[in-house]
Amino acid sequence: MQSLITHYQQLLVLPDSWQVVDVRLSMSGTRIEIYLEFIGSQVQCPECGKAGRIYDLAPEQRWRHLDTMQYETHLIARIPRCECKEHGVKTMKVPWAAKYSRYTLKFEAVAVELLQHCSSIQAAARLLRLSWHATNEIMNRAVERGLSRRSNHAIDHLGIDEKSFRAGHRYVTILNDLEGGRVLEVVQNRTTEATEKLLQSLEEPQRQAVKSISMDMWKPFAIAAKKLLPQADMVHDRFHISKYLNEAVDTVRRQESRQLLQAGDRTLIGSKFTWLRNPENMTESQRASFEKLMAGELKTAKAWALKNMFREFWRLGCRDSASFFFDYWSERVEQLKLKPMIKVKELLKRHFDNILNYFKHEITNAVSEGLNSKIQLYKAAARGFHSFSSYRTRILFYCGKLNIAITG
Ligand SMILES: [Zn+2]
């Protein structure tokens, strides 16, 4: 038995003041329990670090540690309480765990790493043999730790995006650092008030340093940005605008499909995603059926052609050519007389200055798109979220590029 205790003493690498006094296999035979005792004569106050006298021992506590072989391993100890002249009686710090944590630092570090590699809490919880709630707690603490370590460096280009959250048109609004490719903060709703709260998550000097903010043509976003980032250019970029164009094409398709169906024509049935793909991303069979659709006299095909034509706009690189192109494109839209397309054209016209800002800041649209699809992935993995706060935690954990490492 003595050799086993010495063995664990060596494996745990604890300071001399902590001694392994017993190692037991639990009654159920599934757990190893390691009993530790403090044998130092002096303790340090956790507040000021000054040495003080041992007042008494706190009640027994237990920490989950990394497994020994396949056995769950726990550390058990009574922590001395220090009597400090200035701070009174306080429980001292232990070298193996953070304050209030029920896990050792080593266990929590592995848990965080596992969470980073799993796309759901459930998967990580199963591997750790922890409950969903306990695993979720570890993720919460990691996000809090990461947020508290964030620097307040200037961020030149921001992006605001909305994301639907649960059914029934509930939304969250997300603030991105476009150059850093990371999510900064997430708030509930997409109102002016919510957007202001989102922007206020940045410190005042940070807000003043923002050069541009890329966003959808949604009024509350613009109102909040004007108020809190008056010097920043608003940019409506490709990512947000292609969404409107895609929706317009889809509206044309639905209307046309309904008309065709009344005449018994099923040409457009099941074609929704065909019109969303760009030709260069189609497989051979997708391209074949797409070309068949395009060869006909469909209104949807014409709307699609206008949408596709607009992709050229972003490649023009300067405001003058872009304005010229837009006039030309607008005329084509007018000629076609398709209401959903005309509506988008009018919308773009109203926000044209902010659209042209795209060429001034050259913000990569890929960042918004990339973050959005990443968020979508974690959302799918969790099959919807129970509450806003857990949705926010997940987004920040996986897309916040936070420094969440455990430092012992
Ligand atoms: Zn003290």
pLDDT per residue over 303-324, tens digit each?
Answer: 999 999 999 999 998 899 999 9
- Distance CA(230)–CA(284), nearest Å, equals 49
C-alpha distances in Å from residue 111, one per residue of 136, 325, 405, 406? 10, 54, 11, 10
pLDDT of residue 407: 75
Ligand 1 centroid, distance to 341 Cα (angstroms): 70
Question: For the chain, what's the residue count?
Answer: 408
Ligand 1 centroid, distance to 89 Cα (angstroms): 9
Ligand 1 centroid, distance to 8 Cα (angstroms): 32
Ligand 1 centroid, distance to 43 Cα (angstroms): 11
Ligand 1 centroid, distance to 15 Cα (angstroms): 21
What is the separation, in whole angstroms, between the first and last Cα of the chain?
30
Please count the other Cβ atoms lying within 10 Å of the Cβ belonging to residue 264.
6
Task: Name the nearest CA neighbour of 102 among 121, 130, 70.
Answer: 130
Ligand 1 centroid, distance to 59 Cα (angstroms): 21
Ligand 1 centroid, distance to 49 Cα (angstroms): 6
Ligand 1 centroid, distance to 58 Cα (angstroms): 17
Tokens of 131: 């409950």
Ligand 1 centroid, distance to 93 Cα (angstroms): 12
pLDDT of residue 277: 87
What pTM value is reported for the model? 0.83
pLDDT of residue 383: 53
pLDDT of residue 170: 83
- Distance CA(26)–CA(327), nearest Å, equals 79
Residue ranges near ligand 1 (ion) with Cβ within 5 Å:
45, 47-48, 84, 86-87
pLDDT of residue 245: 96
Ligand 1 centroid, distance to 278 Cα (angstroms): 66
- Distance CA(369)–CA(125), nearest Å, equals 30
Q: Which amino acid is present at 62? A: R
Ligand 1 centroid, distance to 83 Cα (angstroms): 8
- Distance CA(111)–CA(97), nearest Å, equals 14
pLDDT of residue 373: 83
Ligand 1 centroid, distance to 115 Cα (angstroms): 36
Ligand 1 centroid, distance to 67 Cα (angstroms): 35
pLDDT of residue 382: 58
The helix or strand, by DSSP H or E, that contains position 275, with its residue range, turns out to be none
pLDDT of residue 365: 66
C-alpha distances in Å from residue 63, one per residue of 80, 136, 253? 16, 17, 60
Task: Name the nearest CA neighbour of 195 among 220, 216, 165.
Answer: 220
Tokens of 122: 């459930």
Average pLDDT per run of 10 along the chain, which is 408 residues long?
Answer: 85 93 89 95 92 94 94 96 94 92 94 90 92 91 94 93 78 92 94 97 96 93 97 90 94 96 91 89 90 91 96 91 96 96 97 92 75 78 67 92 85
Dump the DSSP string for 54-91.
EEEEPPPEEEEEEEETTEEEEEEE-PEEEEETTTEEEE
Ligand 1 centroid, distance to 41 Cα (angstroms): 17
Ligand 1 centroid, distance to 57 Cα (angstroms): 17
Ligand 1 centroid, distance to 92 Cα (angstroms): 10
Which 3 state secondary structure label does DSSP give 44? strand
Ligand 1 centroid, distance to 19 Cα (angstroms): 25
Ligand 1 centroid, distance to 82 Cα (angstroms): 9
Ligand 1 centroid, distance to 153 Cα (angstroms): 34
- Distance CA(396)–CA(149), nearest Å, equals 13
